[in-house]
Amino acid sequence: MQSLMRRAWVDIDLGALLRNGRAFAEHAGVPILPMVKADAYGLGAVCVSRALEELEPWGFGVATIAEGEELRQAAITRPIVVFTPLLAGDFDAAMRSDLTPTLGDAASIEHWGLATGGREWQLAIDTGMSRAGVPWTDVRALRGVLRRFPPQGAFTHFHSADRKDGTRGLQEQRFTDAVAKLPARPAMLHAENSAAVEHGADRSPWTIARPGVFLYGVGSGAPLVPENVASLRARIVDIRTIADGETVSYGGTYRAVGARRIATLAVGYADGYRRALSNRGTVLLHGRRAIVAGVVTMDMTMIDVTEIGCEVGDAATLIGRDGDDAIALAEVAAMGELSPYELLTGLRARLPRRYVATDA
C-alpha cells in the first residue's frame, strides 16, 4: 500500500460513508436506494456498494449498463436500477445482468415487456427536469401499455430540492397527479434525492429515498450535515527558494514579494485538482494552510511554504483533515467556483484509492 502512496492518492473513509448513509436513512424513515453511478461519484462503486450492504439498502442506482455489470460481476445481488434511458440495443445486456431499466415511452415499454416476458422495470415521470421520462401531462396516454406491462415502481427527480422557491412542492403535486392517472398504483414510488431528504420532513412520504452525493460527504446547507468521506493527499517532490520578483508556473501569474519558499506537489488537473484553483486554492501541510502559488499544471501544483517547515516527501492535504484543521470538498469547490459534484467525480483513476474504516 505504501508504494501506492508515493505520489498522490485519495483516502476514502468507509466509516464516514456508513454514518452518512445511516443518518440519511434515519431521517428519511424509509429504505434507501444509494446512487453509486459514476464509480460511486469517483470513490469506487464496488467497494462503496459492499460497504453500504451493512445498511441493507433496497438496491443500488447506476447510470449505465457497464456500471451495473461491474456490480454484478462483484457479486452484488440486490436490485440495480439504471437511471439513464436505455436504447433498444441495450435491452439484451440489461436482461443478462438482471438490471432494472427506467422507461418513459410506450415503444420502449412494449419492447421491454415483449422481449423479457414482463420483467421488472420502473416508470420515469418528468415533472419539470425536462431530461428524461414521460411528461406528467402525458401519463394518461400510456395507460394501455401500462395495463399490459405494469411497472415495479414510478419515480421523478427534483431539479431544485435545496431551494425554497416552491418548485419542489409543484413537482410533488405533478408527480402525485401523474401517479393517480396510472392504471394501478406501483408498489414503489420515489422522488427524493440527497437535497430533498436533507431539507425535507422527518419522514419521506414515498416508498424509498435515493441518497447520492450526501453519502460521499457533500451537503446542501441543511441541518442534516454529512461527514467528509474523501481526502486528497499529495507528496512534496521539490522545494526551492525563489527571489523577490521571480515567478511560478505558466504565465508567471504568481510573482514573489520578497524571497519565498515554494514546494511542488505531485498532483495536478489530470488527477482532478482543477486548474480553476490556480492562485486561489489552499492546502494543509502539517496542520497549517498554504496557498496555491501560480497555475495548477497537468501533473504538479506549487504551494507557498515560506512559513511552514517541511521537506521533500511530506504529504499535503488538498481535501480533508490534517491535525485540527480541515478543508471540506465543498470549500475547495467554492474556492474555484466549481460544482462539488464535478470536483468529486473528477478525481481521476490514476489516483490510487486507500480505503480506511473509522468506527462506523
Amino acid at 63: A
**Residue 37 designated active-site:** yes
Residue appearing with cell numbers 485519495: 10
Catalytic residue among 41, 164, 181, 250: 250
Helix (H) or strand (E) holding 21: helix 14-28
Paired residues of 35 in beta bridges: 61
Catalytic residue among 37, 216, 269, 273: 37
Question: Using CA atoms, how far apart are residues 190 and 208, in angstroms rounded to an integer?
Answer: 5
Residue appearing with cell numbers 467525480: 345
C-alpha cell at 249: 508556473
Largest CA distance in the chain: 77
Are the beta carbons of 316 and 308 closer than 8 angstroms? no
**Residue 181 designated active-site:** no
Angle between helices 14-28 and 45-52 (to 10 degrees): 50
CA atoms within a 13 Å half-sphere pointing along the CA-CB vector of 127: 27
Q: Say how many Å lie between the first and final Cα of the chain, rounded.
A: 23
Burial letters for 164-195: b for 16+ Cβ neighbours within 10 Å, e otherwise? eeeebeebbebbeebbeebeeebebbbbbbbb
Residue 314: count other Cβ atoms within 10 Å of its Cβ.
16
Question: Using CA atoms, how far apart are residues 193 and 161, in angstroms rounded to an integer?
Answer: 8
Instruction: Supply the residues annotated as catalytic.
Output: 37, 250
